[in-house]
Amino acid sequence: MTNTGPGPVAGIKLRIAICGGGIGGLCLAVSLSRYAHLDINVYESAGQFREIGAGVMIWARTWHILEKMGLASEFSKIAHAPPTGAQGVGFDYRRSDQPCEGFRFKLVEMPYGVCFSIHNRHAVLTSDSLCQCIRFHRAEFLDVFVNHLPPGIAHFGKRLTSYSRNSNGLISLIFNDSSSAICDVLIGADGIKSTIRAQMYREAADTAHDQSLMRYIEPVWTGTMAYRGLVRVQDIPRNKDGSPHRTIGVPMMYCGKGRHVVSYSISQGDIVNIVTFVSQPEKHGQHYDGEWVTNCDKQELLDCYANWEPEVGSLLKCIDKPTRWAIHHVNPLPFYHKDGVVLMGDAAHAMSPHQGAGAGQAIEDGFVLGHLLANITSKMQLFRSLDAYEAIRLPTANSVVNGSYESGMMYDLISKYGDDYATLGPAIQRQWKWINEISLETELEFASRLARSPSPNAKL
């Protein structure tokens, strides 16, 4: 449905260029393309929109946004199971790095979906435990957004190489095929290696004579390698007693010293997504020499978990062609926008995947930014809206960047809690608290107030 919105800026449509058509950029594009007073263009460097295989999980916060965008029924159809809000398992945490059968040291469960109650105008979950994750096949997930893009707004083979601000306030975009475009607002949704973040921070470092800003340009290797694969449920051997493998029914977190294995079903339960991690925290921050994502030998993966409990081995043996990923994140940024150029998604806050939150955070950016940009009525308000976006999104996303890294250390049993289950279990639980702490309605309401306010110092 097209919304006529509050009206054009200075008599012309506000031109918004979104650079990057991943989950974040496409969520924003779908959200904004419903407003007739906005002129939206998505510039994607690849020849088509695409996600590299494997699964993606989201939590109640993100599901709530998909509902608000009117997309919940379509996402329901491709989830592992349509979310009902019923009580479920977030993750079953198990000690597994021994040849004999392992044991559960923490079960995290919680209702998900819209199981909120209203308390002092804030929506809070009725339990202090965890949300169950809602799981998807990545390509199917992206396709829902792609299918909602109006024709003509996506431009492929357009790798942005630089941008500049004209004297009339417009932003010029230069692409690697020598073509160019102009816009009023440039959105950097160009992922972890963002060209836009690099230019923004290089210029800020030069202007402020502050070389410390250069540390936000290059992503940082976390010292962790991940192995990923998808397995058909029918290929996973049954247990000796004939029962199905545990992970088919329950998202599993198999933990051991310096490594862990995550597995959960996707695609209406037909496929199990497996991601395994091997960490060397002493290498955190070192330069990673080599390709970030490569194919690798199955034996290399199996060797990493050679003496683990049998149900881990039987699962990993099913992965035919694993891929190996060097896990990077971006140092938490001090700002997200400058002169009408704004960062979102992995460009703003690429994080390690230990809270399954990067895509969800990109969607939150898209939702908040979409709401603010759709309601702009003047150029002055544009800058206030970008301030509001940053005020709302930056603290949350940065704390998830840090929390995700810490969670990885906990699952690897090398955080300060080690394998003291009495303190580790509650610490793991606390790591997820942010998911339920502040409702999106509250954040949106505050962001809108901030965008309308003449003072940039409004308090939540």
Ligand X SMILES: Cc1cc2nc3c(=O)[nH]c(=O)nc-3n(C[C@H](O)[C@H](O)[C@H](O)COP(=O)(O)OP(=O)(O)OC[C@H]3O[C@@H](n4cnc5c(N)ncnc54)[C@H](O)[C@@H]3O)c2cc1C
Residues that bind ligand X (CB under 6 A): 19-25, 43-46, 56-58, 158-160, 189-191, 195, 226, 228, 275, 325, 345-346, 353, 356-360, 362
The answer to whether 346 touches 352, Cβ cutoff 8 Å, is no
CB of 43 vs ligand X, minimal distance in Å: 5
Distance CA 344, CA 19 (A): 10
Among 182, 148, 156, 195, smallest CA distance to 26 is for: 148
Sheet holding 180-183, edge to edge: 160-165, 171-175, 180-183
Query: Taking Cα atoms as reference points, which of 233, 238, 227 lies closest to residue 266?
Result: 233
Pick 184 or 190: Cβ nearer ligand X = 190
Which is nearer to ligand X, 176 or 243 (by Cβ)?
176
Structure tokens at 353: 């995947």
Q: What angle do CA 447, 434, 58 make, to 5 degrees?
A: 90
Nearest to 406 by CA among 286, 291, 284: 284
Count Cβ neighbours within 10 Å for each residue of 159-178 and write b for 16 or more, e otherwise.
Answer: ebeebeeeeeeebebebeee
Q: Please tell me whether residue 404 adopts helix, strand or coil conformation.
A: helix
- Least separation in angstroms between residue 77's CB and ligand X is 19
E-strand ranges in 101-244 read 103-111, 116-119, 122-125, 134-137, 154-156, 160-165, 171-175, 180-183, 185-188, 220-232
Measured from the CB atom, the residue of 5 and 360 that comes closer to ligand X is 360
* Nearest distance in Å: CB 429, ligand X: 19
Tell me the closest approach of the beta carbon of residue 405 to ligand X, in angstroms. 13
Phi, psi of 369 (to 5 degrees): -65, -40
75 or 325, CB closer to ligand X? 325
Instruction: State the number of CA atoms in the 13 A half-sphere of 194 facing the CB.
Output: 38
Nearer to ligand X, 223 or 345 (CB): 345
| Shortest distance (Å) from residue 148 CB to ligand X | 15
Are 196 and 43 spatial neighbours (Cβ–Cβ below 8 Å)?
no
Give me the least distance between CB of 177 and ligand X, in Å please: 11
Between 49 and 116, name the residue whose CB sits nearer to ligand X: 49
Q: Measured from the CB atom, is 5 or 219 closer to ligand X?
A: 219
Name which of 9 and 247 has its Cβ closer to ligand X. Answer: 247
Q: Give bridge partners of residue 91 from the DSSP assignment.
A: 108
Instruction: Check if the beta carbon of residue 315 is closer than 8 Å to that of residue 245.
Output: yes
Minimum distance of ligand X from residue 355's CB (angstroms): 8
Question: Nearest distance from residue 458's CB to ligand X, in Å?
Answer: 28
| DSSP-assigned letters across all residues of 318-342 | T-SS-EEEEEEE-PPPS-SEETTEE
Q: Which is nearer to ligand X, 9 or 60 (CB)?
A: 60
- Compute the distance between CA of residue 187 and CA of residue 322 in angstroms, rounded to an integer: 34
CB 146 within 8 A of CB 26: yes
* CB-nearer residue toward ligand X: 5 or 229: 229
